[in-house]
Structure 1
Amino acid sequence: MAYLPNLLFLLALVAGIGFFARNVRRLIRNIRLGREEALEGPRSQRWKNMARIALGQGKMVVRPVSGFMHIIVYVGFVIINIEVLEIVIDGLFGTHRVFAFLGRPYDFLIGAFEILALGVIVAVVVFWLRRNVLRLQRFWKPEMKGWPKKDADWILYIELILMSLFLTMNAADYSLQLLGAEHYPLAGAFPVSQVIAGWMQGLSEASLIAVERVAWWLHILGILFFLNYLYYSKHLHILLAFPNTWFAKLRPKGDMGNLESVKQEVALMMDPNADPFAAAPAGEEGPPAKFGASDVMDLSQVQLLAAYTCTECGRCTSECPANQTGKKLSPRKIMMDTRDRLEEVGRHLDAHKGTWEPDGKQLLDDYISREELWACTSCNACVEACPVSIDPLSIIMELRRYLVMEQSAAPSELNVMMSNIENNGAPWPFNQMDRLNWKEE
């Protein structure tokens, strides 16, 4: 019976990590449904972008208030979770504060953890007030109804509970140290939890041990729960912001990619000596690739990774000029719809043992409407605003490319312009002989 708590802890740890590993495999499977895309540019620049944007939070502080608070939460969670290593060792081997032998450095670490935990609690409360009391506009867009709204609040509640449990555990531990309780050596500095310990005066040693043990168990089980909740939450960016910033394109934001197959056709038409009936180069036999994208499988793996990385902060939508003028387009919704469709495809694969059978739905029209796509001005404001280098515009352009090149379904204004270019060599409805008449006026 003496080893029962250690055995239970081991089972909880294995179950939590095992379920997380299963979700990671599912995540990777879904992302790999997209097409592979060659990376351009030096890898050294990619590492620098990841260090500056994901690790250093370089684009968060563009909005100082929310950026500073986000850094507190980010640093707090990263550093405080160092203590999880000690909790895991204690849980597996039945020790208590196994790193206490470090002495003063240990005291400093525990004190720093507590100050950061208090900072996280303050920041979380402010975030909640911004969303639910001040009701900032970007948090109340149509796509943020239902689960996205609940998920954002649940994340804040979980963070608040985890930090409160951490401080409660330390407060009870500190009280037991003062009482000289067995197995509770003098270790650590408690600048915040000693205030909470003052409220525990009068509790017996047995009651304090019960409080400390319950808070300890709930804290570690809460961390395992949070780890597995990530897959179902917008907070998956905690893990994916790093690879997403690494894989983000390095070309200038206004540089639109061209289809190689179209470039070859144009080159063929422009070359008077080319043989249109010549055999295709080795490896290029068969029908041409699909132009653009109508479903998530047509998008690149980088774009699907970005869909999972989106934290639904709404900075992209708040900067979008089309959205600001009341149009239906929301870049955040583009990313959310892409992720939702990809999850639906993943569930379909799970239900059919990995075999894809068309389900009669697709990303275009069933999730993202044509009205949204054609409202985009391709100004790149959404790409510039994203704090983790997500590119909603690239998905919009792929869907529009499919409409134009596969379905000839461009808006009438664009069709007129393209007809004019084809017939007159210019977007305007003037005969080529009359194009320079304006200079005579």
Structure 2
Amino acid sequence: MEHATVATPFGRRPMSLAMMASQKAASAMPEGACVHKWKTFHLIREARERLGATDRGLSVLNALLSFHPETELAADGQLIVWPSNTQLAARANGMSPATLRRHLAVLVDCGLVIRRDSPNGKRFARKGRGGDVEQAYGFDLSPIVARAAEFEELAEEVAAEKRAYRLQRERLTLLRRDIVKLIEAGLNEGVPGDWSRMSEMYAAIVGRLPRSPSLSLLDDLCDALELLLNEVHEALENQLNSENMNANESHFERHIQNSNPQSQFESEYGARKNQEDSGNADETDNLHSLPKRELPLNLVLDACANWRDLAKGGEIRHWREFLGVCETARPMLGVSPSAWREACEVMGDKHAAITLAAIYQRADQINNAGGYLRSLTERARDDRFSVWPMIMALLRARLDAGRDRSRETTENGPQAEGLEVSAALKARMKT
């Protein structure tokens, strides 16, 4: 059955361009188009927010579809239903007349139905001699057939957004749990790290989370939490790496200064190098007697006192701050980025930093710090270098210097400041 291109509403209800566009789209639906009305209604329900429909409006649409006798809506069939407001309200779960009229207007504005008003505003159908409907006035359901593909596409987009939202909520929950538990692990295990700052960052990020966040806000919060998680994980992983290096280290060995023949390092260990290379076990040092654990931070700082001068505020409280000084000391010593990167890869970040601190402590005695570091890196690659002998040599030098200054003071004069070490450590340094 054909209708006029434009159907204006009865009474004081105004006409709009949106209503004209909806009628034009309905009249342009392809011939033979046919949709399952309840499946299409389900798609409309999923995409209701995109369409601008309300839940009460969908209740009215569900009631209108129930007045259509067929399960399928076909383009070449009768698509107009003409229930009275009383019948429609009854099928809409007893909706009040005023609420019914308001939500019928919403369905029209959304382009889900079209008003086909009679001259007097009544809804009815005129049948011919064979009982077929020749003319009907009421609500036209043809937009549901014409826009079925659009409804399906919108429903898929909404479903994809819901999946993305659910995944981001799960990601947020996992990130929050991981960060909290890893920070607690770092504090309980006494791992060096700025845990208070990390906790404050976590609280600041989570504090931005409202009761019903949008997908874009969830993305931003998850990205921020992931960066924080990487920082927390890195602090714990550095501790694990240092412990693994200590557990796997089979022996420690005295180092040799190859880049500067006049270096004090070489003068102290050059003779030992010849003994080690000769393979004479009686003449070599007992390298296995060195401690099989990581160097304590305080011991390294005692040996490399000048390293503190490069730290912010002149204070180093944990290994993270110790490693941070390397970015200042490396260019000062003229060590190239490639040499430093290779040292970190071979020795590990912590041992490379200790080596650089020892070189900085004796910078006035080393002509080519970069070449010296590369030489030590090659020895470490062959498992012929350890940072323990370097630190012990620096400590022994400080002890010797302290004894010399003490002998120069008078009996009642001020005593020179020396380095206090334990008897066990003194015995280690003498081996």
**Bigger proportion of residues as helix:** 1
**Bigger proportion of residues as strand:** 2
Q: State the TM-score, normalized to the length of structure 2.
A: 0.28
Higher relative contact order (CA 8 A, sep 6+): 1
Larger radius of gyration: 2
Q: State the TM-score, normalized to the length of structure 1.
A: 0.28
